């Protein structure tokens, strides 16, 4: 039983990171119908920014964290402006290819700047553990879960309670009508990219104590986060987080209880099963999108 709870907690923690990356996929997809395959690499870059600020420049953890988030938000806007906007409206494949290209580019540049070694960010949560009876839970894992919950609550408030957030939902539901309302759709899309890069950075920094940061971490985790987004129903924000947590838990459980090798296969098996039974995903809105 203890093992089970501990596996559950580390699965949820890892799953939260998948969920945050998936959230980035979903935000951009909802706003522009573009699947940003560089999402994982944005996370990687955010992690490296934080490593530079905290590990190399010796800034305070929180200041470095905030700095990395701000820098990446700007970077996200820039990426949208330079890579995506000029080809918006052209066939999906061109845009997908462009984002895949962006991902490759970011991986190589990160490799050139920071090398191909693994890096670790020292966090205030790296050492401590929480003991409940004989249950031992590491602070770094709990911090990931707590941060994800806070982040999701903030995003929920932003999207549901602010005018700008509502305008973002409006633009993603009907871009033409958003123009008719006088919503500056292009600026809204820029901000969506900024938010999604910022969320990815949070994922990267939170991940750093659990896994190490290296130039390929975005590719590896992106490939896990993408099924998480699909599992939740591409286009649903709560779906992305739930999908991420599910994949994380399944992976963690399979790694512990099943034979070697199941760990990487099990999430995809569950994904295939879900897609067979519920092709729109767990929280999918696709079938109902056009009213």
Q: Tell me the β-bridge partners of 137.
A: 130
Q: Is 85 exposed, middle or buried (0-12, 13-18, 19+ CB in 10 A)?
A: middle
Pairwise CA distance, residues 18 & 68, whole Å: 19
> What's the token pair of residue 155?
């995003």
Residues in contact with other proteins, shown as a per-residue x/- string from 100 to 139 under the rule CB under 8 A: ----------------------------------------
Sole window of 2-10, 73-81, 90-98, 176-184 interacting with other proteins (rule: CB under 8 A): 176-184
Question: Does the footprint of other proteins cover residue 291 (CB under 8 A)?
Answer: yes
Pairwise CA distance, residues 52 & 60, whole Å: 12
Question: Does the footprint of other proteins cover residue 182 (CB under 8 A)?
Answer: yes
Question: Does the footprint of other proteins cover residue 83 (CB under 8 A)?
Answer: no
> What's the token pair of residue 244?
């991420």
Question: Does the footprint of other proteins cover residue 179 (CB under 8 A)?
Answer: yes
**Dihedral angle, C-alpha 84, 90, 91, 94, nearest 10 °:** -40
Indicate the residue among 179 and 257 with the shorter CB distance to other proteins: 179
* Residue whose tokens read 């009907």: 174
Question: Does the footprint of other proteins cover residue 26 (CB under 8 A)?
Answer: no
**Contact residue for other proteins among 34, 178, 191, 254 (CB under 8 A):** 178
Residue 291 Cβ vs other proteins, minimum distance, rounded to whole Å: 4
Indicate the residue among 178 and 203 with the shorter CB distance to other proteins: 178
Residue 32 Cβ vs other proteins, minimum distance, rounded to whole Å: 16
Question: Does the footprint of other proteins cover residue 92 (CB under 8 A)?
Answer: no
**Dihedral angle, C-alpha 213, 216, 220, 225, nearest 10 °:** 70
Question: Does the footprint of other proteins cover residue 93 (CB under 8 A)?
Answer: no
Q: Regarding beta strands 129-132 and 135-138, do their DSSP bridges make them parallel or antiparallel, or are they unpaired?
A: antiparallel
Q: Tell me the β-bridge partners of 213.
A: 119
Question: Does the footprint of other proteins cover residue 167 (CB under 8 A)?
Answer: yes
HEC assignment per residue over 167-187: HHHHHHHCHHHHHHCCCCHHH
Question: Does the footprint of other proteins cover residue 183 (CB under 8 A)?
Answer: yes
Sole window of 41-49, 134-142, 177-185, 205-213 interacting with other proteins (rule: CB under 8 A): 177-185
Question: Does the footprint of other proteins cover residue 177 (CB under 8 A)?
Answer: yes
281: number of CA atoms within 13 Å, CB side? 27
**Contact residue for other proteins among 169, 216, 238, 262 (CB under 8 A):** 169
Q: What is the chain's Cα-based Rg?
A: 19
Indicate the residue among 131 and 288 with the shorter CB distance to other proteins: 288
Pairwise CA distance, residues 197 & 45, whole Å: 10
**Contact residue for other proteins among 33, 117, 122, 173 (CB under 8 A):** 173
**Contact residue for other proteins among 180, 259, 260, 276 (CB under 8 A):** 180
The phi and psi torsions of 12 (rounded to 5 degrees) equal: -65, -40
Residue 186 Cβ vs other proteins, minimum distance, rounded to whole Å: 8
Q: Tell me the β-bridge partners of 66.
A: none
Which residues of the shown chain bind other proteins in the complex (CB under 8 A)?
163, 166-167, 169-170, 173-174, 176-185, 285, 288-289, 291
């Amino acid at each position: 039983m203890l093992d089970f709870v501990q596996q559950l907690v580390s699965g949820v923690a890892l799953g939260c990171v998948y969920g945050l990356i998936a959230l980035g996929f979903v935000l951009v997809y909802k706003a522009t119908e573009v699947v940003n395959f560089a999402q994982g690499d944005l996370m990687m870059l955010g992690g490296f920014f934080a490593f530079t600020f905290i590990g190399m420049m010796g800034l305070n953890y929180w200041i470095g964290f905030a700095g990395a988030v701000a820098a990446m938000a700007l970077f996200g806007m820039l990426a949208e402006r330079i890579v995506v906007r000029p080809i918006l409206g052209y066939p999906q494949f061109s845009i997908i290819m462009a984002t895949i290209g962006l991902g490759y580019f970011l991986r190589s540049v990160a490799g050139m700047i920071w090398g191909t070694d693994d890096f670790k960010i020292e966090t205030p949560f790296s050492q401590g553990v929480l003991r409940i009876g004989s249950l031992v839970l590491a602070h770094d894992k709990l911090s990931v879960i707590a941060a994800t919950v806070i982040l999701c609550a903030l995003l929920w408030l932003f999207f549901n309670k602010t005018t700008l957030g509502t305008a973002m939902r409006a633009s993603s539901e009907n871009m033409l009508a958003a123009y008719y309302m006088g919503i500056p759709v292009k600026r809204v899309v820029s901000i969506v990219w900024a938010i999604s890069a910022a969320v990815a950075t949070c994922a990267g920094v939170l991940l750093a104590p659990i896994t190490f940061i290296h130039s390929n971490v975005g590719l590896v985790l992106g490939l896990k986060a993408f099924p998480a987004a699909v599992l939740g129903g591409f286009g649903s924000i709560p779906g992305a987080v739930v999908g991420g947590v599910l994949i994380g838990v399944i992976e963690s459980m399979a790694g512990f209880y099943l034979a070697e090798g199941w760990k990487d296969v099990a999430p995809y098996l569950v994904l295939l099963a879900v897609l067979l039974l519920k092709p729109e995903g767990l929280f999918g809105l696709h079938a109902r999108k056009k009213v």
